[in-house]
């Protein structure tokens, strides 16, 4: 892990970590023991958390803020593949096979993180069957998300991908709602595999479907169902 300023975990941190999806099956004492070996860190925007191929010595849990997962394809180019929010985890793929992070991670917004030593996590996995299964399930669901993303990149147009992204933020609530973007639009664009210009034009095109930019960070979705129909290709 790069030289992040570290501090002890606070009680408030522990509370928020308890509700992280990954730790749900862990009994209270076991989580406490695990967190006993962990520490907190604060990263300013754009701060690199770890580089690709660096030894994977910690699991990073996002307590607050947004962290980006960056994959490199050549020596000079890399791109944003995932956005990781509070309660989610980054770096897990490096812990179990090569021992090196397969991707880089970077804070997108300012972020507060929990750093869990790899050794402690592995030990915890060996002693708690529940966490083990959960971890397998967790990795599986990550696979699911990535596969879906690949399919979307191949099959959907830019406006459809934008629509799909927005629907992912309208948490299963139906009806008119406003979405707050967690980060700048240029970042979102990279995440969706397009330029900021294309994102802008795509949003403009979605206005006919009741999607309106409201200021810089908010987007109003009038009718998620209509948007969903467009994304599914009913319209075209």
Partner DNA sequence: CGCTACCTTGATGAAGCTCAATAACAGTGG
Partner DNA sequence: CCACTGTTATTGAGCTTCATCAAGGTAGCG
* Residues at the site binding DNA, with contacts judged by CB under 7 A: 157-159, 184-186, 193-204, 213, 215-216
What phi and psi, each to the nearest 5 degrees, are found at residue 43? -125, 130
Please identify which residue in 6, 45, 78, 183 interacts with its own copies, judged by CB under 8 A. Answer: 78
195 binds, among DNA, its own copies, none (CB under 5 to 8 A by kind): DNA
Helix (H) or strand (E) holding 49: strand 48-50
Structure tokens at 26: 């862990």
Q: Does 196 bind its own copies (CB under 8 A)?
A: no
Please report, for residues 90, 132, 236, the alpha-carbon distance to residue 117 in angstroms, rounded to integers and kept in the order given: 13, 17, 49
72 binds, among its own copies, DNA, none (CB under 5 to 8 A by kind): its own copies
Q: How many binding residues for its own copies (CB under 8 A)?
A: 52
Q: Is 62 helix (H, G, I), strand (E, B) or coil?
A: strand
132 binds, among its own copies, DNA, none (CB under 5 to 8 A by kind): its own copies
Compare residues 93 and 183 and give the one whose CB is closer to its own copies: 93
Q: Could you give the CA distance from residue 76 to residue 59 in angstroms, rounded to a whole number?
A: 26
Q: Which of residues 116-135 bind its own copies (CB under 8 A)?
A: 125-126, 129, 132-133, 135
Structure tokens at 70: 């960056």
Q: Could you give the CA distance from residue 224 to residue 211 in angstroms, rounded to a whole number?
A: 9
Q: Does 236 bind its own copies (CB under 8 A)?
A: no
Compare residues 39 and 72 and give the one whose CB is closer to its own copies: 72
36 binds, among DNA, its own copies, none (CB under 5 to 8 A by kind): none
Q: Does 5 bind its own copies (CB under 8 A)?
A: no
180 binds, among DNA, its own copies, none (CB under 5 to 8 A by kind): none
In this structure, is the dihedral angle defined by the CA atoms of residues 214, 218, 219 and 222, taken in order, positive or negative?
A: negative
Please identify which residue in 1, 4, 22, 69 interacts with its own copies, judged by CB under 8 A. Answer: 69
The answer to whether the CB of 200 falls within 8 A of the CB of 192 is: no
Using left for φ > 0, alpha for ψ between -120 and 50, and beta otherwise, residue 235 falls in beta
């Amino acid at each position: 892990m790069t030289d992040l300023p570290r501090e002890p975990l606070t009680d408030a941190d522990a509370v928020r970590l308890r509700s992280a999806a990954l730790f749900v099956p862990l009994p209270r004492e076991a989580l406490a023991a695990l967190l006993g070996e962990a520490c907190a860190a604060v990263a300013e925007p754009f701060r690199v958390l770890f580089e690709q191929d660096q030894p994977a010595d910690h699991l990073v849990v996002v307590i607050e803020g947004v962290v980006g997962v960056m994959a490199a394809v050549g020596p000079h180019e890399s791109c944003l593949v995932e956005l990781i929010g509070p309660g989610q985890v980054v770096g897990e793929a490096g812990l179990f096979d090569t021992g090196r992070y397969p991707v880089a991670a970077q804070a997108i917004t300012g972020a507060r993180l929990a750093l869990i030593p790899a050794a402690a996590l592995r030990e915890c996995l060996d002693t708690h069957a529940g966490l083990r299964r959960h971890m397998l399930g967790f990795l599986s669901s990550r696979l699911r998300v990535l596969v879906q993303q690949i399919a979307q990149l191949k099959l959907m147009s830019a406006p459809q991908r934008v629509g799909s992204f927005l629907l992912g933020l309208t948490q299963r609530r139906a009806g008119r709602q406003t979405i707050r973007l967690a980060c700048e639009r240029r970042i979102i664009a990279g995440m969706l595999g397009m330029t900021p210009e294309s994102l802008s034009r795509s949003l403009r095109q979605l206005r006919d479907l009741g999607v309106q930019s409201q200021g810089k960070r908010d987007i109003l979705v009038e009718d998620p169902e209509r948007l969903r129909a467009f994304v599914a290709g009913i319209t075209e």
